């Protein structure tokens, strides 16, 4: 299958959209603020901080972020390690929320202190995920609308996606769809595509409209299983419950796009709003070449930019020249003055 990646590197983040043929299937995001975060596929030197027999594994300090878990299970060549020892590991699963990364053993320690041994860029991680990718450098604007809670189902009806700490809840509304079955089929296709697109995983509960016939329920489950085969993640789908709910799980190797962009209430974080403001400044400055630009931002964004976890002014100056200023205002807007 031919895959291509549209990738955009801006001040503060790198965005990537993966297409299979003409279909957008995945979104990936790297934030500059996460530059010390252990990424999937990277090699790190860690130090054993605890041996936990109750979970059958070791807690490993990596020198950045929460401690990672190195399980005894499936580690054939794992040496007998003691607290304080150093060891090289590969990140098999990135930290998600409060849970640290999942690790697998590689070799004896190659560094004197915990830290990254082999870092991987977003392009390099995508190359490992998919072979023979074709890259195109271009704007990736879909992130601004990629985490909407409510989406229309083609043919009628809608779905609402709620991200909670325990699970992903999806409600299906029949709306103007002709039949319950038509709505359910359309919803199933949309839900599975959205889970992959956003990188959502864990336990997912889907409340479909009332499908009374067992044959229809079985048909829908088979259809979902067939669609799940095209997803690189591991997916398990349970039959309809007595209350008409379908439970499923989807493997997750890192935080979702929703979790990276939004807070737990689904609203953009201050960092997201600040990086969007910088993106808007750069876009407007390129349109009005040579003009002096003023980026006006509200109080939360102003505070974040003043105390940002990375230097954004130098790279922005390198891109635009010393022709922009940032001022405190009531909202985010960009003005150009020749």
Q: Where are the domains of the chain?
A: 3-35+121-143, 43-118, 146-257, 270-337
- Confidence band, pLDDT 50/70/90 cuts, at residue 293: very high
- Confidence band, pLDDT 50/70/90 cuts, at residue 161: very high
Phi first, then psi, for residue 251 (nearest 5°) are: -60, 145
Nearest 5 degrees, angle CA 188-CA 190-CA 192?
70
Question: Which conformational region is residue 124 in: left (phi greater than 0), alpha (psi within -120 to 50 degrees), or beta?
Answer: alpha
Distance CA 133, CA 139 (A): 18
Domain 146-257: give its CATH architecture.
3-Layer(aba) Sandwich (3.40)
* pLDDT tens column, 252-285: 999 999 999 999 889 999 999 999 999 999 999 9
pLDDT (average), residues 71-91:
91
Check residue 205 and give its pLDDT.
98
Check residue 338 and give its pLDDT.
66
322 pLDDT above the threshold of 70: yes
Check residue 236 and give its pLDDT.
98
Phi first, then psi, for residue 8 (nearest 5°) are: -135, 125
Domain 43-118: give its CATH architecture.
Beta Barrel (2.40)
75 pLDDT above the threshold of 90: no
* pLDDT tens column, 23-43: 999 999 999 999 899 999 999
pLDDT (average), residues 199-217:
94
pTM of the model: 0.94
Check residue 209 and give its pLDDT.
92
CB-CB contact of 228 with 245 (8 Å): no
Distance CA 170, CA 277 (A): 31
Distance CA 241, CA 162 (A): 20
Check residue 290 and give its pLDDT.
85
CB-CB contact of 142 with 155 (8 Å): no
Give percent above pLDDT 90 in the chain.
Answer: 86
Neighbouring-strand partners of residue 68: 60
Average pLDDT of the chain? 94
* pLDDT tens column, 222-235: 999 999 999 999 99
334 pLDDT above the threshold of 80: yes
Distance CA 199, CA 73 (A): 26
Same fold? 43-118, 146-257: no
Strands 102-108 and 68-71: parallel
Non-local (6+) Cβ contacts of 251 within 8 A are 201, 233, 234, 235
305 pLDDT above the threshold of 90: yes
CA torsion, points 81, 108, 46, 16, in degrees to nearest 10? -130
Cα 7 to Cα 134, 136, 226, 260, distances in angstroms: 10, 6, 30, 17
């Amino acid at each position: 299958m031919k895959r291509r990646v549209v990738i955009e590197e801006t001040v503060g983040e790198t965005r990537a959209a993966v297409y299979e043929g003409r279909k957008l299937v995945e979104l990936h995001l790297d934030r500059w603020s996460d530059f010390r975060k252990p990424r999937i596929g990277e090699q790190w030197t860690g130090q054993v901080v605890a041996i936990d027999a109750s979970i059958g594994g070791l807690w490993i300090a990596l020198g950045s972020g929460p401690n990672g878990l190195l399980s005894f299970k499936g580690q054939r060549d794992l040496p007998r390690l003691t607290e304080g020892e150093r060891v090289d590991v590969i990140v098999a699963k990135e930290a998600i929320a409060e849970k640290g990364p999942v690790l697998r053993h590689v070799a004896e320690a190659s560094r004197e202190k915990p830290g990254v041994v082999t870092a991987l860029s977003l392009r390099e991680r995508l190359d490992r995920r998919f072979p023979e990718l074709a890259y195109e450098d271009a704007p990736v604007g879909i992130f601004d609308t990629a985490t909407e809670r409510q989406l229309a189902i083609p043919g009628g009806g809608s779905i609402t996606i709620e991200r909670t700490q325990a699970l992903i809840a999806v409600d299906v509304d029949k709306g103007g769809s002709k039949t319950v079955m038509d709505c359910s089929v359309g919803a199933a296709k949309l839900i599975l595509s959205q889970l992959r697109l956003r990188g959502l995983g864990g336990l997912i509960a889907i409340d479909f409209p009332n499908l009374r016939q067992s044959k229809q329920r079985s048909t829908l489950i088979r259809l979902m299983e067939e669609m799940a085969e095209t997803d690189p993640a591991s997916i398990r789908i349970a039959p309809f419950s007595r209350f008409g709910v379908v439970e499923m799980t989807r493997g997750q190797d890192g935080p979702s796009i929703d979790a990276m962009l939004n807070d737990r209430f689904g609203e953009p974080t201050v960092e997201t709003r600040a990086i969007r403001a910088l993106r808007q400044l750069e876009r407007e400055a390129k349109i009005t070449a040579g003009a002096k630009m003023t980026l006006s931002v509200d109080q939360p964004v102003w505070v974040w930019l003043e105390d940002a976890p990375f230097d954004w002014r130098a790279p922005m100056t390198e891109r635009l020249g010393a022709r922009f200023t940032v001022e405190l205002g009531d909202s985010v807007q960009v003005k150009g003055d020749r």
